[in-house]
Amino acid sequence: MTEFSILENPNSKRKKIKRNYTPEDYDRVMRLLNEGKSLNEISKITGIPKSTLSYWKRGIHKPPRAQWKPKPCPELAYVIGCLLSDGYSYERKEEQHYENTLYATDLEYVKHFSKCMATILGRKENKIQYRERPKRGEKGWIVQYGSAAFHYWW
* pLDDT tens, position by position, 6-58: 444 455 565 556 677 877 888 899 899 999 999 999 999 999 999 999 988 88
For the chain, which domains are there? 3-66 (1.10.10), 74-153 (3.10.28.10)
* pLDDT tens, position by position, 120-132: 988 899 999 999 8
Contacts of 132-136 with C-beta under 8 Å, sequence gap 24+, read 133/103
**Distance in angstroms (rounded) separating the CA atoms of residues 62 and 53:** 10
Residues 37/118, Cβ–Cβ less than 8 Å: no
pLDDT band of 85, cuts 50, 70, 90: very high
